[in-house]
Amino acid sequence: MSVKVIGVGNAFRRDDGAGIAAVNLLRERASASFDIAVSSAEPSELMTAWEGADVVILLDAAAAGSAPGKITRTVIGKTPLPPDASGASTHDLGVAAAIALAEALDERPETVIVYTIEGADFGFGEDLSKEVVAALPMLIDQVAQETAKLSVEELRHA
């Protein structure tokens, strides 16, 4: 089973870069059990990034109006995605559009799990808000546990 973790967002729009910051932290502690990539969430780019993966874990910022730093786990197909921060991009397309397009083309990976961190500030700049910085270790712990669980399941199946 091929697992890919993809951080999406715009690192120049403060908390919109939360997903990218998360995968950068994951890289520092990554085992060899999954691939890591970064994407802008432009649909064709994201679809290329997850090509060949059975399980995709997307890390993104959310602008859902909840408490900054709040982590939400969504399994695509089971619960709706929280609103993302795609307003910070010039395309107004985000993860949801990419997933919808892949579904329409029957090219969505079997399992897509989206982790979001609620952002506080999507203004111009590279610094993350203190709430997002504080939540990042918890996010990467959860992602690491998720990928470890997937590895165990794979071993069981084997």
Partner 1 sequence: MPNRTIKVDYLARVEGEGGLAIKVRDGVVTDAKLKIFEPPRFFEAFLRERSFTEAPDITARICGICPVAYQMSAVHAVENAAGVQVTGPIRTLRRLLYCGEWIESHALHVFMLHAPDFLGFDDAVQMAREHGDVVRTGLAIKKAGNAIVTLIGGREIHPINVRVGGFYKAPRKKDLTALAETLKPARDSVVKALDWARALPFPGFEVNYEYVALHHENEYPFNEGRIISSKGLDIDAVEYPDHFVEYQEPHSTALHSRIDGRGAYLVGPMARFNLNREKLTPMAAEAAIRASLTAPCNNPFQSILVRLVEILFSFEEALRLIDAYEEPDKPAVDINMGASVGMAATEAPRGLLFHRYEMDESGAIVSAKIVPPTSQNQKSIEDDLKGVAQRHLELTDDALKWRCEQTIRNYDPCISCAAHFLRLDIDRGDSGGAHP
Residues that bind partner 1 (CB under 8 A): 40, 43-45, 47-48, 90-92, 97, 100-101, 104-107
List phi, psi (to 5°) of 109.
Answer: -55, 155
Least Cβ distance, residue 30 to partner 1 (angstroms): 22
**Which residue number, 38 or 132, has a Cβ lying nearer to partner 1?**
38
109/136 Cα distance (integer angstroms): 25
**Helix/strand/coil for 144:** helix
CB neighbours of residue 8 within 10 Å = 31
H or E element at residue 19: helix 18-29
Least Cβ distance, residue 147 to partner 1 (angstroms): 26
**Which residue number, 106 or 110, has a Cβ lying nearer to partner 1?**
106
Q: Which of 154, 146, 158, 151 is nearest to 71 (CA)?
A: 146
Least Cβ distance, residue 23 to partner 1 (angstroms): 17
Least Cβ distance, residue 127 to partner 1 (angstroms): 19
Antiparallel, parallel or unpaired: β 55-62 and 35-39: unpaired
**Which residue number, 2 or 48, has a Cβ lying nearer to partner 1?**
48
Least Cβ distance, residue 46 to partner 1 (angstroms): 11
**Which residue number, 92 or 110, has a Cβ lying nearer to partner 1?**
92
**Which residue number, 52 or 155, has a Cβ lying nearer to partner 1?**
52
Cα 35 to its chain centre, rounded Å, is 13
Instruction: List the structure tokens of 22.
Output: 């998360």
